[in-house]
């Protein structure tokens, strides 16, 4: 929804308000197609969640439109692996501290795993938790920041299949 709205706003801006209705209609059609596109999970997600569920408290923290995020989680078939789901408008250190305190034992005993350094990893580390970066080539360019390599709680893995071994080494 956000992408579609941004496209409409951009079309209006670059045409100085003279965008043809047919262009708006094509943008809306593309947006509907995106909303109906099947959810594709990253490699090793299901196996990793199956191995960790019940052993650890698993909380999904995601940013975005409530209904869209709920829809994507339901379509993924992964919702039952999570003990809690938090859909937030912004991911900051304050947000992570609040969630880790509310649903867990605080940030010091938490680990955020994600593919966005800017939204997932850096603020989680600032909150006091571990931040495990799983790079993905389709990460939005606005989510790129330098890796916090000097942070003692920063880790990087190539894919989610490596997460169980990392947790065992840290444990």
| Model pLDDT for residues 50-66, shown as the tens digit of each residue | 999 999 999 999 998 88
Dihedral in degrees, nearest 10, Cα atoms 142, 2, 112, 45: -110
User: For 45-170, which CATH class?
Assistant: alpha beta
pLDDT of residue 40: 86
pLDDT of residue 132: 98
Domain ranges of the chain: 2-36, 45-170
Tell me what percent of the residues of the chain surpass a pLDDT of 90. Answer: 82
pLDDT digits (tens, 9 = 90+) for 1-15: 888 999 999 999 999
Neighbours of 163 (CB within 10 A): 21
| Whole-structure pTM value | 0.83
pLDDT of residue 9: 96
């Amino acid at each position: 929804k956000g992408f579609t709205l941004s496209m409409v706003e951009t079309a209006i801006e670059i045409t100085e308000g003279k965008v043809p209705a047919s262009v708006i209609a094509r943008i809306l059609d593309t947006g509907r197609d995106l909303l109906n596109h099947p959810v594709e999970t990253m490699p090793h997600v299901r196996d990793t969640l199956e191995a960790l569920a019940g052993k650890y408290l698993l909380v999904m923290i995601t940013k975005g439109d409530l209904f869209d995020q709920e829809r994507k989680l339901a379509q993924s078939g992964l919702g039952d692996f999570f003990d809690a789901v938090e859909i937030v408008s912004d991911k900051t250190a304050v947000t992570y501290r609040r969630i880790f305190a509310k649903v867990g034992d605080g940030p010091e005993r938490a680990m955020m795993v994600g593919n966005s350094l800017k939204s997932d990893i850096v603020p989680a580390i600032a909150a006091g938790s571990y931040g495990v970066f799983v790079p993905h080539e389709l990460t939005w360019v606005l989510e790129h920041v330098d890796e916090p390599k000097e942070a003692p709680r920063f880790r990087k893995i190539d894919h989610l299949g490596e997460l169980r071994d990392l947790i065992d080494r840290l444990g």
